Structures are given as C-alpha cells and as structure tokens.
Copies of this chain bind each other. A is one copy, B any other.
Amino acid sequence: MFETAELGRTVSKKEFDKLEPDLRTELLITQRAIAKAGIPVVVIVSGVEGAGKGDLVNRLTSWMDARGMSVHVYWSSTDEERERPHWWRFWRTMPPRGTLGVLFGSWYTDPIVERAFDRIEPEAFETAMHEIKAFERMLSQDGTLFVKFWLHLSKDAQHKRWKSDAAMGRNWEVSPLTEEYGARYDAFEEASEAALRLTDTGAAPWYVVEAADARYRDLTVGRTLLNAMRARLTGAPADEGQAVAALDPPGKRRTVLDSVDLERSLDKKTYERHLAHWQTELNRLTWLAYRARRSTVVVFEGWDAAGKGGAIRRVIEPVDPRLMRVIPIASPTDEERAQHYLWRFWRHLPRAGFLTVYDRSWYGRVLVERVEGFAKPPEWLRSYHEINTFEQQLVRHGMTVSKFWLHISPDEQLKRFEERKKTPWKVHKITDEDWRNRKKWKDYELAVNDMVQHTSTTLAPWNLVPANDKRLARIEVLRCLCNAVGDTLDEEVAQPEP
C-alpha cells in the first residue's frame, strides 16, 4: 500500500515556482465554484509522524481563500467534548455546504494510535473502522466530498527528516510525540495500513502521497484536491469515487513499476540449482499444507508476454496434480456474466488443503476493465474495497493469498512479440489484442500503480517480479510463494545455498 509512496520523487525549487501560480489560481477558481454549488468538502490530512502535515496545512491555507475554509485540529479533547458521545467533536466541526474543512488529524487518529500502542484489540479497531465508514458514507450520501490524504515517509526518510530538523535548530517545533511515535514506526505502519484498507471506499478514497520532498508533497496534494473538486463539479455522483491516483506534478509521473530493477538476471547454472531447490521445497510445503488443511490461492497478472505461462508451469511441475488446479481466466461465460463479477472467482476457491492458481484474476476489474472502459469509474473505483474485503475473508479463513505481477520493459515486450511472430509454434500466442494493449502501456502503468496502492496489503501483498530475465522471474515466483505458504504454516522454509 505504501510502496507507491517510496519512489524518491522530488520537485526542484525552480519547477515549484513555475507550477505554483497556476495551481493557486485554479484552486481559487474551483473553490468559488464549489461555494456556488454548495458542496461541503472535507479534506483529511493524516500520515506518518514527521511527514509535514502542519506545513502542508499551512500551504493549503495560503493557497486558498480563507473565507470559505476552516482548519480543525484534533489535539486532545476538551472536557466539553469528552462529556458527549465520541462523534460530537467531529460533528461540530463539519464544514457547512460550499466550504472546505481541513482536518489536521481526524477520526482516524485515535484508533490508529491506540492500536499502534496495542491499547485496543484488533476487533475493537475494526469496529471503529466500520463506524468511520458508516459516518463517511452518511455524509457523502448527503453530498459531502471527501478527499483523504495519507502522507507517507519511509522509516529512513522519517529519521532523515528529524536529523535535518535537529540540525536546522527546528527541534523546538517538532511535536512532543515525535520520538515516542518514531520508535514504533512498524506498529504504526501496520495500524495505518489496516485503517486505510478498511476505509478506502469509492465514496471516500484515500490518496497516499509521498512526503519525503515537501515541494513534491504539496504540489501533489494541491493537484489531487483540485482534481477531486473538479470531478465533483462536472457531475460525478455524490457518493461515488471522484478520482484515483494522487496526481503527480506534470513531467514527474513515476509509478511503482519504476522501482522494479529489470537489470537483474540469473545465470543458467544458478537458475537450475535454485529451481531444483525451490521446487523440492514447494512439493514439501504443499503436502504439509494439505495435511494442515490450509489452502493457497495464487494470482498471476502481468504484461502480455511477460512469461506468466512459463512461471505457472514451474509452479505446477513439483506439485502433486491431485492438490492443485489452474484456472485460466478469459471472458466470463454466460453464467458468470449473470452474476456479480467476484462470483466467478469465489466458485473456484480451493477446498481445505488445496491450491488454486488463477491465471489472471479479479484484478481484471481494475486493469483491463478500467483501461478499456468495460467497467464504469464508480464500478472499478469501489472494487478496490470489494477486493480487499474478499481477500481479507480468505486470509481470515486461514488461506494464503499470493499475488504476482510479472513486469517487463516495453522493449522486452516488443522483442518477444517479434519472436512469437517468427516462431511457428508460438505464433498462436500473439494476437491483435496484444498489439492494441501495448499501445495503452501508460494507462496500464497507472492502473497497476493504483492497484498496488489500494490492494497491496500485509494480508495479501503484491510481489512485483522483474521478468525481463525469465529465469530470475521463475525463481522469484517460487521463492515468494514458498515463503508465503511457509509463513501461513508457521513452517521454516529452507533457503538455497548462495
């Protein structure tokens, strides 16, 4: 979920100074239109300690018209607030129609902090998230536009930020909570991820923003807010999603795929040794899983010609055929079309102890269906939440969910396409559709980035596999899969000799 916000994006002062004036103008114009249309806008500014929430709020305040905007800080509650039901303090600060309320901290703060310090149980935390979802849905059905920002810093970036603050003598203005929270980075990350996963709905989506560079952070938030308000003004329904990815400044677009190192490769000898090792291990683990009655679901997605078929074959080879099934996902059948899009995947879930490989999957909803327009934006926008709920149900049942995106470069793809055309027994593998998809490379890149941001969770993380080298890709798949199954079984997994 936070992988997409650790890409090292920056904006120079020069670029910032060039982009800022237009953004300010557009924000002001749009703010006036929002006022005229009577739309209440709730902007939530949350995120990692030290990510610059305060600076961002100041920037937003300086950019926009203060008359139609109010900032609310939820520090500690007053006695007036404590004497009323929990939601009272939030109700009293909701922005009237036509105005913006910027919430510095929010209803998310307390549950995340309490969970990170292990002062509430996971169940109570989840109930709190259900209540938040209901609250946001109620207001959004009434017309409120929610724009929720999560400012992310990696653990390293957080430390760097504090050191530089200290060096600049800015320590005195750092929150007193900084150190205490910093020491619990992992616990906070886990709680935050759960919060985002459970409340990332079509009606009130989360935007995860890389916050290591202040100028990048502020420009991205400004542009995303602008975009969300515009989408609402041009008629997107009140209680449906408005936009999706946080909007990078022009020319700055990077996706999580840019972080995949496509140069990596394996020589043939190492490959064969590792293949033997992992296949033996997978055989052992699938039998153990069978005895323990723990099932496994493996999802393969990736570019055309990225080598899904070959990787899947290496997974099949060592597993007893009685234990596994491969489900190739093509167009839905008539029977499947007559149901909710998730139905066709539910029906193939393995029994206790078995393994199912989905060759393409429910992620088609947010990949091909999004890019080709087969699903309307409200449909695929809300499906992130539906998918997360679905996968959570599998994991809660004790299943392993292992997801692979096989990544290649456009050049590598072209090379493989040409090769297929030339090879008689491969020519059937290349169709006009592959060439059409290729033209939409950029759209798919964005869709993959959003997919990872919204659905790569601790419960069911995405493995982005570098696949320019087929050998490396196959080994990576086997390695990740063995480790995932091993984790579920609480079984030590042997690593190959170096």
Contact = CB atoms under 8 A, between A and B. Distances in A.
A37 interface: no
What is the count of identical protomers in the complex? Answer: 2
A366 to B, nearest CB: 15
A393 B40 CA distance: 24
A87 B386 contact: no
Contacts of A127: 123, 126-127, 130
Interface stretch (A23-31, A337-345, A435-443): A337-345
Given A91-B346, A123-B127, A293 B351 contact: no
Contacts of A87: 346, 393
Nearest to A129: B130
A94 B339 contact: yes
A182 interface: no
A144 B339 CA distance: 9
A96 B352 contact: no
Interface in A324-341: 335, 338-341
A138 B351 contact: no
Interface in A72-115: 80, 83-88, 91-92, 94, 96-98
A96 B351 contact: no
Nearest to A87: B393
Given A127-B123, A338-B98, A85 B343 contact: no
A353 B382 CA distance: 43
A82 to B, nearest CB: 8
Contact of A393 (B86, B97, B342, B399): B86
A165 to B, nearest CB: 39
Contact of A138 (B96, B126, B335, B386): B386
Nearest to A354: B83
A142 B389 contact: no
Decide if the interface of chain A is mainly helix, strand, loop or mixed. Answer: loop
A335 B96 contact: yes
Nearest to A130: B130
A153 interface: no
A325 to B, nearest CB: 14
Interface in A117-131: 123-124, 126-127, 130
Contact of A340 (B92, B142, B338, B394): B142
A214 interface: no
Nearest to A124: B123
A394 B85 contact: yes
Leading 7 A-B pairs by shortest Cβ distance: A96-B338, A83-B352, A85-B397, A91-B346, A130-B130, A83-B351, A97-B338
20 contacts: A80-B351, A83-B295, A85-B349, A85-B397, A86-B397, A88-B349, A91-B342, A91-B343, A94-B339, A94-B340, A97-B338, A123-B124, A123-B127, A134-B389, A138-B386, A138-B389, A139-B340, A141-B382, A142-B340, A142-B341
Interface of A: 38, 40, 80, 83-88, 91-92, 94, 96-98, 123-124, 126-127, 130, 134, 138-139, 141-142, 144, 293, 295, 335, 338-343, 346-347, 349, 351-353, 382, 386, 389, 393-394, 396-397, 399
Given A83-B352, A87-B346, 18 more contacts: A40-B339, A80-B351, A83-B293, A84-B351, A85-B393, A85-B397, A87-B393, A88-B346, A91-B346, A92-B346, A92-B347, A94-B343, A96-B339, A97-B338, A123-B123, A134-B389, A138-B386, A141-B382
